[in-house]
């Protein structure tokens, strides 16, 4: 139960950190609460990870990263971290099942999707309200749906959903998309896409499943009904850091603050990827940060060992 490096989160950052830590012969444990790959595992295709000119599916790259980390000795447990504590020479990491001990900790718990927070959303989640196109898209074959958000996720996941649906209406709170130019172009050229600008969803309605949403034009203030079979919400993410409150310094949005070594306010605790304040939210940069944080954790553990002698 005692490790050199304990990594929290099995997305791109965590799995890359695990690969580097294991290859440095550090006893490495990775804790993941859901599936390996994190957000990438829920993505249909990754087109901007170097070395894959044809693109690679999110599932494929996640499984390969996991396999590669395990090949060099990383132990992976599927457990959610509830709290961390520090003693003079080590950290205690508590999960629902047990408490682990580690000389260093690497936080790579990423972020979880943001909800709209409107009436009807929670009640109808899984009954027409979804946050994952690859998980739920097939349930909407030949249906008409709404997609909320104007970023890369909304465009990319919307494009994936056009395989199933007959019509897709993007509801965006401004009149300009945030998504990258290439995804904007593809969406705008797709005949199944239409756009409802300057508009937010105020309520989701339906008896047993989604039937209607109330939308409001922010420029005119006008509210209207919009009949739909489903609503996919892609409005960004919030950092998964509740379990870290009071343990390391977080910024005002809840992201983990780090220095140039990717070390947090607690020496021996590092952070990488989307959970980190200032991170660029891309798979390739998450992996790069995972590598950097693991190398710095390695140096920290080596210094601890030297100090003991
Ligand atoms: P994002 O870039 O933060 O975009 C969120 C979108 O939702 C924005 O258009 C935002 O509107 C809107 N929004 C936020 N809160 C809202 C609310 N309460 N109500 C209504 N609309 C709201 O999030 P993302 O698209 O999930 O992307 C996250 C990161 O992952 C980004 O860095 C993105 O580049 C990256 N990503 C990359 C790819 C790719 O490279 N292919 C794919 C997916 C994600 P405003 O524009 O008005 O703020």
Whichever domain contains 105, its CATH number is 3.50.50.60
Query: How far is residue 42's CA from residue 53's CA, in Å, rounded to a whole number?
Result: 20
Total structural domains within the chain = 2
**Which residues form the catalytic set?**
132, 135-136
Confidence category of residue 288, pLDDT binned at 50, 70, 90: very high
Check whether residue 292 and residue 263 sit in a common domain.
yes
User: Under a CB-based contact definition with an 8 Å cutoff, are residues 211 and 195 in contact?
Assistant: no
Q: What is the pLDDT of residues 7-26, one digit of tens each?
A: 999 999 999 999 999 999 99
Q: Which of 40, 56, 117, 152 to mutate to test the pocket of ligand 1 (most atoms within 8 A of CB)?
A: 152
Give the span between the Cα atoms of 164 and 276, in whole angstroms.
Answer: 35
pTM (2 d.p.)? 0.87
Contact present, 110 and 39 (Cβ < 8 Å): yes
212 and 277 both lie in a single domain: no
Q: Specify whether 149 is located in the same domain as 246.
A: no
In the prediction, which pLDDT does 44 show? 86
Distance 86 CA to ligand 1 centre (A): 36
Give per-residue pLDDT as tens, 85-109. 999 889 999 999 999 999 999 999 9
d(CA 272, CA 19): 14
């Amino acid at each position: 139960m005692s490790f050199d490096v304990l990594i929290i989160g099995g997305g791109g950052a965590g799995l890359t950190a695990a690969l580097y830590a294991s290859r440095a012969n550090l006893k490495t444990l990775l804790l993941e609460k859901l599936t390996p790959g994190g957000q990438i595992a829920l993505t249909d295709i990754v087109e901007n990870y170097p070395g894959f000119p044809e693109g690679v599916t999110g599932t494929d790259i996640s499984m390969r990263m996991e396999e590669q980390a395990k090949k060099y000795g990383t132990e992976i447990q599927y457990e959610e971290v509830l709290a961390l504590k520090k003693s003079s020479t080590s950290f205690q990491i508590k999960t629902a099942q047990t408490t682990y001990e580690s000389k260093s900790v690497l936080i790579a718990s990423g972020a979880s999707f943001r909800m709209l927070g409107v009436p009807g959303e929670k009640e109808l989640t899984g009954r027409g309200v979804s946050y994952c196109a690859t998980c739920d898209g097939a349930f909407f074959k030949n249906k008409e749906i709404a997609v909320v958000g104007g970023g890369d996720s909304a465009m990319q996941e919307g494009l994936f959903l056009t395989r199933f649906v007959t019509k897709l209406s993007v509801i965006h709170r401004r009149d300009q998309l945030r998504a990258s130019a290439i995804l904007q172009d593809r969406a705008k050229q797709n005949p199944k896409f239409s756009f409802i600008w300057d508009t937010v969803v105020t309520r989701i309605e339906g008896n047993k499943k989604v039937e209607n949403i109330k939308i409001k034009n922010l420029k005119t203030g006008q509210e209207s009904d919009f009949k739909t079979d489903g609503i996919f919400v892609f409005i960004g993410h919030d950092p998964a850091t509740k379990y870290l409150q009071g343990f390391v310094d977080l910024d005002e949005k809840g992201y983990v603050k780090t220095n140039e070594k990717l070390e947090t306010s607690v020496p021996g605790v590092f952070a990488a990827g989307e959970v980190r304040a200032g991170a660029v939210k891309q798979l390739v940069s998450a992996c790069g940060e995972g590598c950097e944080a693991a190398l710095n954790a390695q140096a920290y553990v080596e210094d601890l060992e030297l100090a003991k002698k």
